[in-house]
Amino acid sequence: MSADAAPVHARGLVKRYDDVTAVAGVDLTVQAGDVYGYLGPNGAGKTTVLRMLLGLIRPTAGEARLFGRDPLVDGARALEGVAGFVEEPRFYPYLTGRKNLELLAALDGHGAQGRIGEALDIVEMTDRQNHKVGGYSHGMRQRLGVAAALLRKPKLLLLDEPATGLDPAGMRDMRALVARLSSEGTTVLLSSHLMPEVEELCNRVAIVRAGRIVYEGDLISLRARAGGHWRLRTTGDDEALRVLRAQRGLTAVEREADTPSAAGALRFEGDEAAVAALSVALVESGVGLLELTPVRATLEDVFFTLTEDAAEEPAPPPTTAADDAGALAA
């Protein structure tokens, strides 16, 4: 293992199935310590990318490296220090959870047997360890999957929608678990179709649509991109509108009544300096302020814009990690 190679480094990954392009040229770099969210709607190619990273399928084009090693060339050695699962973790249904872990630990070596108890404990499956996996709920199988991953003491954990299908408490526990593993030094790449999940857990995100990355950057930059507008209620909207339109630095001035949402307010976009100048100008014009509030766009809005806009058009070229500030593809 080269000490300084990124946990995940993929360039130009493509996977085609007959006429379906599941992954259309993905560049992805996950740095040590990241909790990286690979976010996209159904069919965006999330599972397919994780499969290629794990060496489960061969890319049509491009290459993937885990800590500098190629899973297709280096085989099992490339997966040293790497664990995870795609879609559902697979177990023998007629064996108990514990027995399944024992079999995996025997394959693994490296002291994995000695970690079974702790792994079961971490995912809170100790009391069900002697029940057959066939009788487990989806959430229990998911947690056993994470326990299996933990046996390997992974430096890098690849998780395919780990919280999907879990009930709210199960989701909370899974997120807490990911946060805990991250705080203990595990690098995590997880796929998700839930922006709030990625927002809560991840420091960095790629948003994917139809096999391509349409946004790549840190969460802080994405939040800044989200932008937003201001909402204004006054004692005299006609005069206020005149002042707004005359005020430098303000754009998209309109009555909310003109929009499908609530009536009775004005809205506009502008930075804080322009808004401060506006408030003075309004008062000078004899207009009283009833409300002046920033309305931030949610990241959920950004996600939908990026993944639903012009979905039928050919996707733009991917944006890569090169621009650390994060950038939207044109």
Ligand X SMILES: Nc1ncnc2c1ncn2[C@@H]1O[C@H](COP(=O)(O)OP(=O)(O)OP(=O)(O)O)[C@@H](O)[C@H]1O
Binding of residue 71 to ligand X (CB under 6 A): no
Q: How far is the CB of 234 from ligand X (least distance, A)?
A: 46
47 vs 319 by CB, closer to Mg ion = 47
CB 126 within 8 A of CB 52: no
Residues shown for the chain: 330
Number of residues that bind ligand X (CB under 6 A): 12
Q: How far is the CB of 318 from ligand X (least distance, A)?
A: 15
Tokens encoding 198: 């990625």
Of the candidates 32, 36, 29, the residue with the CA atom closest to the CA atom of residue 201? 36
79 vs 86 by CB, closer to ligand X = 86
40 vs 97 by CB, closer to Mg ion = 40
Residue from 40, 55, 170, 270 that binds ligand X (CB under 6 A)? 40
Q: How far is the CB of 40 from Mg ion (least distance, A)?
A: 9
Binding of residue 48 to ligand X (CB under 6 A): yes
Binding of residue 46 to ligand X (CB under 6 A): yes
Binding of residue 22 to ligand X (CB under 6 A): yes
Of the candidates 290, 293, 292, the residue with the CA atom closest to the CA atom of residue 235? 290
* Cα 46 to Cα 312: distance, rounded to the nearest angstrom: 19
Q: How far is the CB of 158 from Mg ion (least distance, A)?
A: 12
Which residues, 6 or more positions from 88, have their beta carbon under 8 angstroms from its beta carbon? 138, 141, 142, 145
Residue from 20, 290, 295, 325 that binds ligand X (CB under 6 A)? 20
98 vs 209 by CB, closer to ligand X = 209
Q: How far is the CB of 26 from ligand X (least distance, A)?
A: 11
Q: How far is the CB of 193 from Mg ion (least distance, A)?
A: 8
Which residues, 6 or more positions from 287, have their beta carbon under 8 angstroms from its beta carbon? 234, 235, 236, 239, 240, 243
Binding of residue 58 to ligand X (CB under 6 A): no
Per-residue binding letters, 135-174, with ligand X (x by CB under 6 A) = ----------------------------------------
One DSSP character per residue, 36-103 reads EEEE--TTSSHHHHHHHHTTSS--SEEEEEETTB-HHHHGGGGGTTEEEESSSPP--TTSBHHHHHHH
* Cα 267 to Cα 230: distance, rounded to the nearest angstrom: 5
DSSP-assigned beta bridge partners for residue 30:
8
Binding of residue 193 to ligand X (CB under 6 A): yes
Q: How far is the CB of 165 from ligand X (least distance, A)?
A: 11
* Cα 231 to Cα 301: distance, rounded to the nearest angstrom: 18
Tokens encoding 92: 């023998």
Residue 142 binding partner per list Mg ion, ligand X, none, with a CB distance cut-off of 5 to 8 Å that depends on partner kind:
none
Residues of this chain that interact with ligand X (CB under 6 A) are: 17, 20, 22, 40, 42-48, 193
